[in-house]
Amino acid sequence: MPDEDVFNPCAARRTLLLGASAMGIAVLAGCGGDSDATPGAGGSPGVSSAPAAPATTGGNPFDDSGSGGGAAPQVPANALVAAGEVPVGGGVIVKDTVLVLQPAKGSFKAYDAVCPHEGAIVDPPFDGNPIIMCPRHNSKFKVADGSRVDGPAPRGLKSVKVGVKSGYVVRA
Ligand code: FES
């Protein structure tokens, strides 16, 4: 016959553990919920509206400043885009006006992104495609020099002189 007034250490310990467990779950639940809020994330691939910071760990292979890392690099005033944001064998549209390309690793080119036919913004090429397409009427231009290959555009894309400074593709 059980005596309910007798202290049972096992039952007391079980009650204590259950209480601690419930508090632990409450604390863990309070830590979640922000995992998708990544600063600076978002946007469309191939489109860059503002220069983003280049990678700062391990040095940037395009950094010609000779600083060797350490302090965060200053964004040059004439920066178009961080060099690391331009895919090798592809390109990005910057500020809806400039197509910045990296046909080979470390080699950058840029053209006016506005099609000379009726002013549509051309599509950046990808995966090493040597042709830049205009999505409106399918004019085609060479990545190598911006010249017109096909379509209604009356001429090729205007070249924009660029260089690399402090990890950014800049207007030269
Ligand atoms: S606007 Fe580019 S081909 Fe017509």
Q: Is the CB of 132 under 6 A from ligand 1?
A: no
pLDDT score recorded for residue 73: 63
- 111 within domain boundaries: yes
Residues with Cβ within 8 Å of 49's Cβ and at least 6 positions away in sequence, in order, are: 43, 94, 95, 96
- 61 within domain boundaries: yes
pLDDT score recorded for residue 91: 98
- 64 within domain boundaries: yes
Tell me which amino acid residue 66 is: G
- pTM recorded for the entire structure: 0.64
DSSP conformation class of 157: P
Separation CA 172–CA 162 (nearest Å): 5
Tokens of 42: 């978002």
Number of structural domains (the chain) is: 1
Average pLDDT by consecutive 10-residue portion of the chain (172 residues)? 45 39 37 36 50 49 48 85 98 96 97 98 97 98 98 98 97 94
Quote the ligand 1 centre to 92 CA distance (angstroms). 18
pLDDT score recorded for residue 50: 56
- 9 within domain boundaries: no
Residues with Cβ within 8 Å of 87's Cβ and at least 6 positions away in sequence, in order, are: 102, 126
Give pLDDT tens digits for 30-76: 333 333 333 333 344 456 655 655 544 444 444 444 444 556 668 99
Q: Which of 121, 136, 141 to mutate to test the pocket of ligand 1 (most atoms within 8 A of CB)?
A: 136
pLDDT score recorded for residue 57: 41
Separation CA 71–CA 79 (nearest Å): 18
Quote the ligand 1 centre to 136 CA distance (angstroms). 5
Q: Which domain holds residue 111?
A: 47-171
- 22 within domain boundaries: no
- What CATH number did the domain enclosing 98 receive? 2.102.10.10
Quote the ligand 1 centre to 151 CA distance (angstroms). 8
Q: Is the CB of 118 under 6 A from ligand 1?
A: yes
